[in-house]
């Protein structure tokens, strides 16, 4: 069903995980999708997959922690399609370690990608989104309101996304802009697998099950993508603060 036919979406972190699944779902609904991430080859594969299914996608390799690349991504989207209807701020990184062991560079890296990039990219795309009365969809985390130990930096970035979502919604909602943040619990992404498997013994002891079993119990990227598409299509008034909670196995 091409319910989003002709719409234009810019998706960050589109090369795998949640970003990839949201991109495929958008294209499946008829939207033109600009795929933004650093890994050009993966983006080209996803774009070819979308086009093979009859969809339309533009792969755009960029490092969105750089202001010049953020501007290039917005400019390329408008040049290719003339508008922006949906901005999906999905790109992010995760790490878990005691704050005293986190370097200043690691803090800056996570802040740059998880928080500064969505703020700056939204600012650059805002005039187009207001013109189209579009939607900003931010990908946050349930840990932003139910935090584990040793996630101080990550949780700070995602709590910032929640505040950004609410403020942006309050600032521009009357002008027709819809704004949401998805707050999923644990999701079976390459990012989380990489972390869990690097500490397999400790994590299996904590979870009280093999990781392979755990992966079958938590949310999938497709689950999160489906909720995201629901927000884009239906633009529901609830939740009033725009924060969409998605519980997973351990919550």
Catalytic pick among 86, 128, 154, 214: 154
Q: Is the pLDDT of residue 239 over 90?
A: yes
pLDDT of residue 190: 87
Return the residue matching tokens 């900003």: 136
Q: Kindly report the pTM of this predicted structure.
A: 0.95
Q: In whole angstroms, how far apart are CA 169 and each of 44, 79, 199?
A: 33, 27, 39
pLDDT of residue 191: 84
* Sequence spans of domains, the chain: 8-184+221-246, 185-218
Residues shown for the chain: 251
The helix/strand/coil state of 248 is coil
Dist CA 225 CA 58 (whole Å): 19
pLDDT of residue 2: 59
pLDDT of residue 95: 87
Helices (H), the chain: 17-28, 40-52, 67-81, 104-111, 117-132, 152-172, 190-198, 200-207, 211-217, 221-234
Dist CA 220 CA 190 (whole Å): 11
The helix/strand/coil state of 35 is strand
pLDDT of residue 195: 86
Q: Is the pLDDT of residue 251 over 70?
A: no
Q: What is the CATH number of domain 8-184+221-246?
A: 3.40.50.720
**pLDDT tens-digit map of 206-237:** 899 999 999 999 999 999 999 999 999 999 99
Q: In what order do the strands lie in the sheet with 135-139?
A: 56-61, 32-37, 8-12, 86-89, 135-139, 178-184, 243-246
Dist CA 43 CA 11 (whole Å): 11
Q: Is the pLDDT of residue 62 over 90?
A: yes
Q: Is the pLDDT of residue 141 over 60?
A: yes
Q: What DSSP assignment string belongs to 138-165?
A: EE--GGGTSPPTT-HHHHHHHHHHHHHH
Dist CA 85 CA 32 (whole Å): 10
In this structure, the number of other CB atoms found within 10 A of the CB of residue 143 comes to 20
Band of residue 148 on the pLDDT scale cut at 50, 70, 90: confident
**pLDDT tens-digit map of 77-99:** 999 999 999 999 999 999 888 99
Residue 14 token pair:
């589109």
**What share of the chain in percent tops pLDDT 70?**
98
Active site includes 172? no
In this structure, the number of other CB atoms found within 10 A of the CB of residue 58 comes to 19
């Amino acid at each position: 069903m091409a319910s989003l036919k002709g719409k234009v979406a810019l998706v960050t972190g589109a090369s795998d995980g949640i970003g990839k699944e949201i991109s495929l779902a958008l294209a499946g609904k008829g939207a033109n999708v600009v795929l933004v991430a650093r890994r050009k080859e993966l983006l080209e594969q996803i774009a070819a997959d979308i086009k093979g299914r009859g969809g339309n996608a533009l792969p755009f390799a960029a490092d969105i922690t750089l202001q010049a690349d953020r501007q290039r991504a917005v400019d390329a989207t408008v040049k290719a399609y003339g508008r922006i209807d949906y901005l999906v701020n999905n790109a992010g990184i995760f790490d878990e370690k005691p704050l005293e062991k986190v370097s200043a560079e690691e803090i800056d890296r996570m802040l740059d990608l998880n928080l500064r990039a969505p703020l700056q990219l939204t600012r650059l795309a805002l005039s187009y989104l207001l013109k189209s009365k579009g939607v900003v969809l931010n990908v946050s985390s349930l840990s932003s309101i139910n935090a584990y130990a040793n996630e101080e930096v990550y949780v700070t970035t995602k709590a910032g996304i929640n505040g950004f979502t609410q403020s942006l919604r309050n600032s521009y909602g009357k002008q027709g802009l819809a704004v949401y943040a998805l707050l999923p619990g644990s999701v079976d992404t390459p990012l989380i697998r990489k972390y869990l498997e690097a500490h397999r013994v400790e994590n299996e002891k904590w979870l009280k099950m093999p990781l392979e079993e755990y992966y079958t119990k938590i949310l999938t990227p497709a689950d999160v993508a489906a909720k995201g598409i629901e927000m884009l299509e239906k633009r529901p008034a609830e939740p009033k603060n725009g924060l969409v909670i998605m519980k997973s196995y351990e919550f």
